[in-house]
């Protein structure tokens, strides 16, 4: 299909609900558009523009599944959100013996959520995600009123404290890493990045002039600024230079495209091939976008970075139940220990509410454990007890 035909079919699929349109009608559209473009310039080989447009939805799935998938894609939802919502919708249908979700209501939603909370004992966040998925599908897509679900049994909220490493432990962990994973781990700790934020860094986000990192593709889609540590700047420049060489090689082979948010690739022609939008930590291989079918170079996988950090923690002898995200927790805690204002830390972390940031005060004796254990205040009594035990062992 020619570029114009591809654009028109995409428009028809995304703007209008074509789920009930016979495929032969769509084929007729394509043939008519192609016939009208006989005088157009031929597509350059290797440009990827002539690739067939993938379907907006999975035609092998049930109709109720296709409707939600089409709504998510036309709404511009992230691929992770799409997968999570559709997975919960399938679980919901399976729980009700394969019943079409369009035939369900508030009672069925309540019983499923209570099953998760009581029988499966899932975390509160898991239950909330399931509820958000069902709310989107049933209310927004199927337009089914769910009524009052306030009396639904809820999973208990998490009240766990974050696992924080000491400065010495962080130094040991970072000292056992090398290469790009070392650089990414140091950015997570030195800039307070989430794991996915580090993976999604683009060349344009690194501001060497103002010595800061501009985060745009973040949780909640809110821009924020954070530190660009002095100790990583030279290595980061080398990494960006390597990205430029890789990008030039991709362009020479007719590739070099990258995913852009907010449909920017449709608004600005060839912006997805510009260097400033390339990922700072690109994947080793090209991949096919599961929704557009376009060949692109994505960013490095978050799980591979997390595994490298976890391996370094084991090698460093860190016996805490820590993960890669503990580096971000440690950044916040160590900032507060150094006397930083909690509002400053809140902005650096990108927390919506300062109460979220307050949890990092648990190791600072404010407002956590104040004073000392009464056992340590017994002084001579405790020493006499130990001396007496030592005498018994000697006898």
CATH class of residue range 59-159 = mainly alpha
- Put the strands of the sheet holding 206-207 in their side by side order: 206-207, 212-215, 224-227
Show me where the domains of the chain are located.
1-56, 59-159, 162-373
Asked if domains 59-159 and 162-373 share a fold, the reply is: no
Cα distances from 190 to residues 26, 194, 203, 279, 382, in angstroms, run 53, 11, 18, 19, 43
Q: Is the pLDDT of residue 40 over 50?
A: no
- In whole angstroms, what is the distance from residue 369 CA to residue 27 CA? 70
Q: Find out whether 37 and 5 touch, Cβ atoms under 8 Å.
A: yes
The CATH code for residues 162-373 is 1.10.443.10
Between 44-53, 116-125, 207-216, the lowest mean confidence (pLDDT) is in 44-53
Single pTM value for the model:
0.72
Return the number of other C-beta atoms located less than 10 Å from residue 73's C-beta.
16
- Active site amino acids: 194, 219, 325, 328, 351, 360
pLDDT tier, 147 (very low <50, low <70, confident <90, very high otherwise)? confident
The angle at the Cα of 156, spanning 357 to 363, to the nearest 5 degrees, equals 30
**CA pair distance 274, 256, nearest whole angstrom:** 8
8-state DSSP, 61? S
Output the six-digit token pair for 177: 């890493």
55-93 pLDDT per residue, tens: 568 888 999 999 999 999 888 788 889 999 999 999 999
Q: 275 to each of 256, 280, 284, how far by Cα in Å?
A: 9, 10, 17
Secondary structure of residue 249 in the 3-state scheme: helix
Tell me the C-alpha distance between 122 and 218, whole Å. Answer: 26
Quote the Cα angle for 230-233-239, to 5°.
160
Query: What is the rounded distance in angstroms from the CA atom of residue 177 to the CA atom of residue 175?
Result: 6
Per-residue DSSP letter, 39: T
How many angstroms separate the CA atoms of 165 and 321, rounded?
Answer: 10
How far apart, in whole angstroms, are the C-alpha atoms of residue 112 and residue 117?
9
Residue 4 has pLDDT above 50, yes or no: no
DSSP 285-307: S-EE-TTT--EE--BPPHHHHHH
Residue 295: phi and psi, rounded to 5, are -80, 125
Q: What is the pLDDT of residues 207-264, one digit of tens each?
A: 999 999 999 878 777 889 999 999 999 999 999 999 999 999 999 999 999 999 877 8
Query: 28: burial class by Cβ within 10 Å (0-12, 13-18, 19+)?
Result: exposed
């Amino acid at each position: 299909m020619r570029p114009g035909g591809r654009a028109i079919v995409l428009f028809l699929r995304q703007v209008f609900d074509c789920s009930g349109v016979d495929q032969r009608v769509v084929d007729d559209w394509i043939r008519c558009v192609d016939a009208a473009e006989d005088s157009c310039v031929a597509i350059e080989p290797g440009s990827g523009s002539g690739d067939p447009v993938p379907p907006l939805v999975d035609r092998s799935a049930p109709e109720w599944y296709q409707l939600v998938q089409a709504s998510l894609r036309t709404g511009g939802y992230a691929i992770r959100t799409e997968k999570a919502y559709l997975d919960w919708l399938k679980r919901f249908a399976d729980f009700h013996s394969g019943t079409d979700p369009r035939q369900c209501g508030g009672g069925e939603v309540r019983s499923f959520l209570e099953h998760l909370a009581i029988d499966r004992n899932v975390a509160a966040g898991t239950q909330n995600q399931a509820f958000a998925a069902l709310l989107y599908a049933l209310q927004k897509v199927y337009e089914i009123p769910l009524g009052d679900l306030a009396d639904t049994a809820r999973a208990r909220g998490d009240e766990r404290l974050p696992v924080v490493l000491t400065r010495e432990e962080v130094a040991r962990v970072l000292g056992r890493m090398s290469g790009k994973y070392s650089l990414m781990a140091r950015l997570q700790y030195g800039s307070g990045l989430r794991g996915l934020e580090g993976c999604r860094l683009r060349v344009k986000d690194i501001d060497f002039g103002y010595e800061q990192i501009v985060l745009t593709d973040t949780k909640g889609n809110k821009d924020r600024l954070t530190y660009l540590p002095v100790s990583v700047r030279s290595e980061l420049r080398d990494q960006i230079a390597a990205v430029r060489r890789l990008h030039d090689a991709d362009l020479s082979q007719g590739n070099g495209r990258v995913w852009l948010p907010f449909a920017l690739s449709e608004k600005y022609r060839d912006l997805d091939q510009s260097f400033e939008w390339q990922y700072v930590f690109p994947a080793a291989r090209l991949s096919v976008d599961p929704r557009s079918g376009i060949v692109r170079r994505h960013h490095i996988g978050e799980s591979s970075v997390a595994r490298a950090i976890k391996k370094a923690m084991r090698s460093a002898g860190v016996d805490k139940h820590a993960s890669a995200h503990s580096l971000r927790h440690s950044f916040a805690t160590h900032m507060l220990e150094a006397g930083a204002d909690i509002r400053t830390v809140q902005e650096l972390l990108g927390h919506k509410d300062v109460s979220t940031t307050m949890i990092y005060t648990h190791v600072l004796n404010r407002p956590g454990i104040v004073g000392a254990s009464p056992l340590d205040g017994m002084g001579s009594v405790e020493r006499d007890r130990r001396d007496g035990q030592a005498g018994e062992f000697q006898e």
